[in-house]
């Protein structure tokens, strides 16, 4: 199984544009928490990689470029057996169903 190609800025903007079904040109540079939560869930679904961001890491993502850096790093640190090299492996949340944990399906440690 090969590692997916890390998303570039255009791919991240495309994912963000799906939030609110808007044109990519209307995606703002600064991201709100709802946009970031949407982007995280969209990324996890597309790439099959669960992001395990601490509250500090999540809060540090303020712009599209910040998001690109975090998402690219998640893809690049994915191990061939699944999962990422950045988390503890103790997350129990899932995206796409189940109980709402108050974090919009975003697993954060």
Instruction: Kindly report, residue by residue over 78-95, the tens digit of the pLDDT.
Output: 755 544 444 433 333 434
Q: Is the model's pLDDT at 23 over the cut of 90?
A: yes
pLDDT for the residue numbered 71: 94
Closest CA to 12 of 96, 74, 87, 59: 74
pLDDT at 40: 95
Give the residue-averaged pLDDT of 21-36. 95
Q: What is the pLDDT of residue 4?
A: 81
- Residue-level length of the chain: 109
**Region for 36 from its dihedrals, namely left if φ exceeds 0, alpha if ψ lies in -120 to 50, beta otherwise:** alpha
Rounded to whole angstroms, how far apart are CA atoms 36 and 75? 17
Average pLDDT, the chain: 78
């Amino acid at each position: 199984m090969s590692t997916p190609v890390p998303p570039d800025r255009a791919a991240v903007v495309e994912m963000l544009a799906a939030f609110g079904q808007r044109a990519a040109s209307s995606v703002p540079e600064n991201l709100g928490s709802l946009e970031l939560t949407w982007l995280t869930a969209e990324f996890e679904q597309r790439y099959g990689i669960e992001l395990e961001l601490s509250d500090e890491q999540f809060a540090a993502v303020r712009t599209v470029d910040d998001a690109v850096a975090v998402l690219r790093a998640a893809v690049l640190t994915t191990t061939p057996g699944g999962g990422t090299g950045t988390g503890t492996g103790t997350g129990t949340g899932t995206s796409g169903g189940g109980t709402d944990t108050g974090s919009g399906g975003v697993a954060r440690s």
